[in-house]
Structures are given as C-alpha cells and as structure tokens.
Amino acid sequence: MNSDPLTLKTAQDRGSRAALRQLTQMLDLPRLQPGWVWLAGAGPGDPGLASLHTLSAIAEADVIFVDALVNEALLGLARPNVKIVRAGKRGGKPSSLQSEISYQLVSYARRGKRVLRLKGGDPFVFGRGGEEAQALVRASIPFRIVPGVTAGIGGLAYAGIPATHRDTNQAVTFLTGQGADGRIPDLDWAAIAKGSPTIVLYMGRKHAGEIAARLVAAGRSLSEPAAIISNASLENQSVRICTLAELGAAAAGAETPAIIVIGENVRLAKGLDWLGALAGRTLDPDPLNRDRLRDAG
C-alpha cells in the first residue's frame, strides 16, 4: 500500500465540502463519524454516478482507502490533510493483502479516525466488501455500507443495453470470469447456459473464449450477440458488439476494465445507444425487428 497526500488536488476552497454538508443536512443524512468505517461504492467511473452518501464520506474522511478502479477525480472533494491509501486489487499489478487492508481499516477506526473504504462499482458485488465488513464486525467497529452503481448494470446502461427487457430476457445472471485462483470458476456451465438468458461477466476478459465455448457446448447459439464494454462510463469508453463465436478474439483485443454481456438484450444497443446518439449516430427505433416482422407478416 502506498499513500501520497501531497500529489492530491483537494478542494482547497472548502466550498464543495461545505455545499455537500449543506445537502446532507437538508436531507437529514448521516455523516461519517470518528471511529466509524464506511464501505462505499464509487460507481463504475463517471463521478456523477457516485451517491450523495459516498461524496459526503469522501468530504468527511480522515483516511481513504482507495480501490484501483475508483475514479480519483472524486478525491478532489477530500479534506486538504486527508490520508489517501491506494489499496487496490488489480490482476497483474501489485496488490495489497486483503488481511492487511482489513487490519488497517480496524486500526485507523480504533484510533478515532473517520475511515472510508472506497470501492469501484458496488462494494458487495465482486468487491470483497463483505470480507472487509466481516473484519469490522469481528473487531466491533461501527460501519455503514453504501451501495454503488455496479459495472454490470451501470456499464451496460452506458452502452445502451438494458440489463433486463421484457422482449429479450426476464432474468440476468452476474458471474465472475475468474475465481480467486485466476481460473474459470467451478460453476455448472450447462445449467447457466440453460437458465440464464443474459449473462454479465465481470473480470471476464481472460477466459471469455473458453466461457463462450462452454456455453455453446451446452446449447447456446454461436450467433448469439455479446458486447464488451471497456472503461464503461468514462471518457474513453469503448463498446464492441460481436457474436458468441467471436467473443474470445474480441475480448483479447479489448481494453480493461471490461464488462462483458451475453444475451439477446445486447441487440437493444442499436436502438438505445444514447451516448452514440450524442455523438451523432442514428438510433434504430426497432432494434429487435419487431415492427418489421409484424409489417411483413
């Protein structure tokens, strides 16, 4: 873990922090108190997706433990003398031991600090927030969980793909593409292929091809649509739409972080890619060919 409070651009004029405090008071929201730990989600990237609870905690905290995928622009709201600890877990890059992070959260709280653990997306979705919260419970540290917009929902929305849609999928399954050992998780892939019309894969880039092959072996169509959304909700977001047959190759060439979605709901992107529309693309009013089929019939 390393900390560099010096390079941080904080809200020196106090104006933004004062405004946040006013908002939380007006809405009668709780504030991060000394001796407490808040485990908060920062959303997938766009700082506008962080909740008021999360922003308020950033503005109040004495020490902030930041995940690798958190948009650090948010830290501009922190106090000038805040201690920032980068405690991210990121495949292939130096990471901090989970037990060490939990230990630090507890020890800062015991010293009466206001402690914020800031995580990408939602802290309880593939984010080990549960493990850290358990450590706080064992140490009798008071805590609050602040949910965040998870990449598997918010990232899809930024690609114009609804997580569910009546015409395409009445269920959605969230999966991690790799287990703690880095391998494909030991799941009943045939059951998933059968029972999950839409599959959202976190950390799925590495094994995307193998996962697609398992789904196809269990009966999914090679031509089923999939999308890979890289850097979702950030300025450099990119979306690749492909088929299940092409998924492995497409994922290999995609930037990370990437969220992958497999299912018929991906077709809706043609009609709902609102970011593309902002950039001048024309949206298809009938992305599922419903009206066209009806007219022809």
Q: Which is nearer to ligand SAH, 80 or 179 (CB)?
A: 179
Shortest reach from residue 121's CB to ligand SAH, in Å: 2
> Considering only 27-35, 147-155, 210-218, 275-283, which stretch makes contact with ligand SAH by CB under 6 A?
147-155
Distances in whole angstroms, Cα of residue 68 to Cα of each of 44, 48, 86, 113: 11, 18, 7, 22
Shortest reach from residue 152's CB to ligand SAH, in Å: 6
206 is catalytic: no
Q: Which is nearer to ligand SAH, 69 or 247 (CB)?
A: 69
- The yes or no reply on residue 202 touching ligand SAH (CB under 6 A) is yes
> Considering only 148-156, 190-198, 218-226, 277-285, which stretch makes contact with ligand SAH by CB under 6 A?
148-156
Pairing of strands 225-230, 238-243: antiparallel
89 is catalytic: yes
Shortest reach from residue 120's CB to ligand SAH, in Å: 5
**Residues contacting 19, CB < 8 A, separation 6+:** none
Cα–Cα distance, 40 to 133 (Å, whole number) = 11
> Considering only 159-167, 217-225, 244-252, 255-263, which stretch makes contact with ligand SAH by CB under 6 A?
255-263
- The yes or no reply on residue 229 touching ligand SAH (CB under 6 A) is yes
- The yes or no reply on residue 232 touching ligand SAH (CB under 6 A) is yes
Question: How many other C-beta atoms are found inside a 10 Å radius of the C-beta of residue 98?
Answer: 15
> What are 292's two structure tokens?
């066209």
Length reported for the chain: 297
- The yes or no reply on residue 178 touching ligand SAH (CB under 6 A) is no
Q: Are 104 and 110 in contact (CB under 8 A)?
A: no
User: Rounded to 10 degrees, what is the CA torsion of 247, 255, 163, 189?
Assistant: 40
> Considering only 124-132, 135-143, 262-270, 287-295, which stretch makes contact with ligand SAH by CB under 6 A?
124-132
Cα–Cα distance, 265 to 197 (Å, whole number) = 9
- The yes or no reply on residue 54 touching ligand SAH (CB under 6 A) is no
Beta strands in the chain (DSSP E): 37-41, 63-66, 83-86, 115-119, 143-146, 172-176, 198-202, 225-230, 238-243, 258-262
9 is catalytic: no
Residues that bind ligand SAH (CB under 6 A): 44-45, 69, 119-122, 125-127, 150-151, 155, 202-203, 229, 231-234, 257-259
